[in-house]
């Protein structure tokens, strides 16, 4: 499952839903915000991350106006074998001016998710 900005928050919320949790190979979100008001009840995506039980990668812009990468790291905590946060240089919330770097990190994240899933299957 993947999402950018508001879609990132919805992706996190969706990945915690019992009917989806067991079906996901991984979650990749970009530009995660602190609140998601398009669900009921409203959710704070960073507080839900511990409920995701598959590989998770967050790509966060260093200058995101909602949650800069440094703040995202504080909310996220340390990386673990199934959780990773990557700070990506960007000119704002949607990584403007640095899309090539974003795409490079997306490819790396998908590869990492695949490797984690393959390792878990052994």
Q: Residue 29 phi/psi, 5° resolution?
A: -125, 150
Residue 115 belongs to a domain with what CATH number? 3.40.50.1820
Domain that holds residue 86: 2-121
Q: What are the beta bridge partners of residue 83?
A: 56, 80
Stated pTM of the model: 0.94
What is the domain count for the chain?
A: 1
- Tens-binned pLDDT, residue by residue, of the chain (122 aa): 999 999 999 999 999 999 998 899 999 999 999 988 877 777 899 999 999 999 999 999 999 999 999 999 999 999 999 999 999 998 899 898 888 999 999 999 999 999 999 998 88
Residue 110 CB coordination number (10 Å):
16
Q: What are the beta bridge partners of residue 29?
A: 3, 58
Query: What does the block give as tokens for 2?
Result: 């993947």
């Amino acid at each position: 499952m993947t999402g950018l900005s508001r879609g990132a928050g919805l992706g996190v919320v969706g990945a915690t839903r019992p009917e989806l949790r067991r079906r996901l190979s991984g979650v990749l979100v970009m530009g995660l915000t602190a609140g998601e008001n398009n669900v009921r009840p409203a959710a704070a995506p960073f507080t839900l991350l511990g409920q995701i039980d598959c590989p998770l990668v967050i790509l966060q812009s260093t200058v995101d106006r909602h949650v800069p990468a440094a703040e995202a790291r504080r909310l996220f905590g340390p990386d673990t074998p199934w959780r990773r946060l990557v700070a990506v240089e960007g000119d704002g919330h949607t990584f403007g001016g640095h899309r090539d770097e974003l795409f490079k990190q997306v490819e790396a994240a998908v590869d990492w998710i695949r490797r984690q899933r393959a390792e878990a299957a052994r």
